[in-house]
Every structure is written in C-alpha cells, then in structure tokens.
Structure 1
C-alpha cells in the first residue's frame, strides 16, 4: 500500500466542495470512516482510495505527497467574505494552493520577474495610485494590458474558473511572492478593475494580509478607490471628460481606460465632472440597459503573457499538458482553470526531466 497523507484528502475534499457526509455517501461509507481517513487514524483500503480518486478528481498519487502549503482565509483579500459560503471560499483557496504548486514547478525551470512592489500603506488610495504610477513610469496614460503590467512587476497572476459572483478575485502573499487570482467568468472590464483592486491590497495592505488581520469594509472601499484612480488617472479623465455626458459619450470614453460604464461614471462623478442628477440619470440608464453585467462595446479579455511564454517554451520541448498534470499529480482541467485556458499541445515528443538543475531559462 502506498503512503497516504490524510491532510491531502482533506484538501481534495474541500477543493471540490464536498462535505464529509456527502463524500461518505458517495463512497457508501459512514461519516466516521471519512473522519478516520482525515485524522490519520487509518488509511483507506486500495479500492476506497481508488474511489476517492474518482469522486474527488485527483490521481491516487496525489494522496501520497508531502503536506501542501496553506492559505489562511484571513490572509486572502476576499472582497465579499461575509456573503461567501465556506464551500466557495475553500474551493477558491484550494485553487490558490494548486497554483502555488504549478508556480513552484515553473519557477524551477524559468526565470520570472522579481517582485517590485513598494509599500504605500501610509498614503491615501488616490495618493497611492498616483505614486505607484510615478514609480512605475506610467505617467497619466491609460494602462494597456493590466495583467501584463502586474506580471512585469513580479506579481504572479492566475485565473479562477469558479462560476460564482461571490468569488470575483483575491490576492495573497506566499513565501514573499505576491499572487493575484482573477475570475474568468466576469467581463474583461470588470476583471481589469478586480486586478487593480487586488493590486491596491498588495501595495497598501501587505502588513495586514501577512499578519492575518481581518479585512474591513473600509479596506475594500479603499482598494476600490485605488483601482479607480490607477485605471482612470485624474488629469487624463478631466482632460477627456469635459462637456455634456450622455450614455453614448460614456460608452466611447470608457474604451480609453478599459473600464466599465459604471466605474467610469462613478469616477467622473467623484472628480466633479457632472452633477449628482446627471450621475443618477446615467446609473438608471446603465441598469435599465443591462450594462451592470454586460458591457456595451466589450473589450477582449486579458490573459497572462508569462504563462503563454512558459507554455510556448514547454511546447517546443515536447512537454504537454498531460505531462505537466502527471508531474504535479493533478488533473489537466485544474491546469486549464488556473492558466486562462491556455492549452499545451497534446502531442508529446520528449519526457519531462524531473532532475532539473539550475538551468532556468529567461522568458
């Protein structure tokens, strides 16, 4: 019988959103048996381990690995923690842990950008956004591809394929490395704002996140204000947003900054570019036309440049998605769900060299 790590069973169960009772029912066991497996009181028999593998969609080899890293819920920047079920939260955190495994595998083979994030915790959201733009040399210009910018500054960006509006995005620090996770079921405009929101947490709330302090509504409001100021810098918006603003004009303007209609209307109102009456009227029109969830003139979704380059290099080496999944002891869907659907070729030409020395390549 292979070594069985009970902590990996608990992880797999929570990652797939199973309660102990549901898993026991699926296996035809008593809940007490699942409790015994997870506490290490006893290991599952080979047939039960095979059943666990099928139900939870993890290879049997996965359950023989070392202890996994963990993400404490209080260290992750979930925006709507109070509205999120424990099942959804645990599933999202489990995806994050899987990303750590994938990221570790990648960083053992490739030189990725080092983290370059200043500590701006002593600044207001508006000041922090303006300061970060100066430090990063962005000036007042709109940001072209936000994911590419974050990756260039050493932030590891992965996707979350969780079809639940409560899980929009989250960020976390792991081993001194900043990570951002973005839900791919949202519009490109909303995803960009989520990415900027999480960047706000990383540069303004790092100490809070590292020490596991609870995220407050004020922190979430500040992160939203930071994202708004970062994506729509004051001088640039004021220069372009003068005159009478209609919904059609707003639709044209939003494409300059890659933001949603609602976000642009809020920012322009905050900067005093139109009256409260105009703002309320625009909000009514936005809601009436269904533009809270579906944007007019939608932009193309952003994706990871780093992961694309990694996958291109792996493909040239004959390393497939199946190879990578086998190496990590996870299923291929888990890789797709973390990597914006970027897919490696399924035609293998060469095996993975598991004994990789310090021969990492630059992207």
Structure 2
C-alpha cells in the first residue's frame, strides 16, 4: 500500500514537472489526449478507441508500430514505476496533463497493452465503477487491434499458431488476442478454456518476444532545459525525484 501511494505521488510530481517543462519548451508537443464521453455499452468502447487513435494521429486501421512514441507525440507524460507487485501501470490527470506510470520490468507486449489500458482510463473514466477495468481492457484491445482489422485476420477455428503469428504482426500478447477473440465470439467458452490450458505451460513467458519501448519525452524535456540539476533548481523540484522520473532501468537488477 505504501509503494502504491508513493507511485501515485511520483505521478503527481511528474505531471507538475512536465507541465512546467512543456510551457518552457517551444518544441514540446501539446497534450492532445482528451476526456471523452464515458462508454454506454461495450460496443461504444470500440468507438472511443477509434476516436483516441485519431487523437494520437494514427490511422483508423493497421498496427501501431510504436505506441510509446505515438503517446508521447500526443503530449502524454510517461514515467517508470517500480516495486508494485502485480501492477503494470497507473495513470492520472495532473492539472490538465495526462500522466501514465509503467512498469519497465515486464515484457514489451505487456507494456504496450498496459499503456493502451491506461490511455483508456484517462480518456473514458472520471470515477471508479464495477466495469472500469474490463472497459479499459476492451479499449486496449480495440485500439491496438481495431475490430475491422481483427475481423479480417480471424480464420475459422483459430489455433495457437495463428495467435502467435498475429502477435508478431500486431504487438499484442497471445493472451490478449485470445481474450479478444473470445469476447468477440470467434471462439466459444470450451475453446477458450482449451487455449488457456495450452498457455499455462508457458509459465508467463510467451513465444515471440516483443521489444519494450520506454518513454523518452520527459528526459528530452529535461535535457532541453539544462539537465536534471538545472531543472530541479530552476523549478524548485527535488533533484533525486526528477532523476528517478527519467530512469527506466533503476532497480531492474534488484
């Protein structure tokens, strides 16, 4: 609980530092992500995901090759968070700045999905309710692999090899692809359970690695304003905290 509280404090601090650096840096991207209307059904979640793809300046269809880059070009502040068992991401609006904390220690496909999931929270949710996590998961699946593309990619009775192949093309984990196939009724409950059993043999190490893409915008803003020490001094922030917000590798070996 203490580590989660600290992570939330880092997200708040990141938003404040990012806002000041954004205002001081003419070339900094504006924060284009917006709060959108809360979805009224699972189908409207897909519509919201399509709208956010547009806000991120992505095409309506096709894979998003580098979601981290797309998010940062849209002015989303990304920072690393560590030490939260079972938590891959957190997010919050901080004085108009969308901030997402991501766990760099997980595989690249999980970082991508967590980033999309947290973008969904920022875009759709102003309060907690029973369905926020399932909505954010559906949003992530729809943003990374839009419904029309998914429909075109599905075959009759897809097998595990088919899902592994799709992972390589779309950068979405096999687990997430199978979940999406199930929620869109391409596989029934029995087939879903069978694929889950097959996946359990991997022990969380799926085939088909996907390189993790870590954030660079925050560090670029710091460098553009004289470096960590200068930014801390100029804007009145703790130097160690400013450094921590840029360090995507610290504690990785611990």
TM bucket by the smaller chain? 0.7 to 0.9
CA distance in 1, matches of 2:247, 2:208: 22
Q: Residues of 2 paired with 1:220 and 1:170: CA distance? A: 12
Which aligned runs of 4 or more in structure 1 are off by greater than 6 angstroms?
A: none
Larger radius of gyration: 1
Classify 1:303/1:340 alpha carbon distance in 2 versus 1 (closer, same or farther; 3 Å).
farther
Whole-angstrom CA distance in 1 between matches of 2:8 and 2:64:
29
The 1:297/1:312 distance shift into structure 2, 3 A limit, reads: farther
Which of 9, 18, 21 is matched with 1:103 structurally?
Answer: 18
Q: Which residue of 2 aligns with 1:234?
A: 147
Q: Deviations over 1:179-221 (max 9, x none)?
A: 1111222222112111111111111114x3xxxxxx2231121
Describe the SS at the equivalent of 1:179: strand
1:113 paired residue among 7, 15, 29: 29
Which residue pairs with 1:276 in the alignment?
189
SS in 2 for 1:181: strand
Q: Is the 8 A contact 2:109 2:172 kept in 1?
A: yes
Residue 201 (1) aligns with residue 118 (2): no
After TM superposition, give the deviation of residue 131 of structure 1 in Å: 3.2
Deviations 1:61-99 (Å, cap 9, x if unpaired)?
xxxxxxxxxxxxxxxxxxxxxxxx2x1221112222332
Aligned to 1:151: 72
Confirm whether residue 165 of structure 1 aligns to residue 85 of structure 2: yes
Residue in structure 2 matched with residue 174 of structure 1 by the alignment:
94
TM-score (norm 2): 0.83
Report deviation, 1:283: 0.8
Instruction: Give 1:3's aligned residue.
Output: none
Number of matched pairs: 243
The Cα of 1:305 is off from its aligned counterpart by 3.8
For 2:115 and 2:184, the matched residues in 1 are separated by 22
Structure-1 residue corresponding to 2:133: 220
Unaligned runs of 5+ in 2: none
The separation in 2 between residues aligned to 1:322 and 1:297, in whole angstroms, is 41
Q: CA deviation at 1:322?
A: 4.8
- Quick one: distance in 2 between partners of 1:220 and 1:277? 24
Instruction: Tell me if the contact between 2:91 and 2:118 (Cα under 8 Å) persists in the aligned partners.
Output: yes
Sort the Cα spacing of 1:305 and 1:331 in 2 relative to 1 into closer, same or farther, 3 A. Answer: closer
**1:254 CA displacement:** 1.0
Aligned to 2:238: 330
Question: Given that residues 308 and 342 in structure 1 are in contact (C-alpha distance below 8 angstroms), is that contact kept between their aligned partners in structure 2?
Answer: no
Shift of 1:105: 4.7
- Give the direction of change, closer, same or farther, for the CA distance of 1:128–1:100 in structure 2 (3 Å limit): closer
**Greater RCO (CA < 8 Å, at least 6 residues apart):** 2
- Give TM-score, length-normalised by structure 1: 0.60
**Equivalent residue in structure 1 for 2:208, among 268, 290, 297:** 297
- Deviation at residue 272 of structure 1 after TM alignment: 2.4
> Counterpart in 1 of 2:46?
126
Summarize the alignment of residues 26-37 of structure 1 with structure 2, pairs less than 5 Å apart. none
- Counterpart Cα distance in 2 of 1:299 and 1:340: 21
Equivalent-residue separation in structure 1 for 2:98 and 2:237 (angstroms): 24
Q: Aligned in 2, Cα 1:96/1:312: closer, same or farther, shift over 3 Å?
A: closer
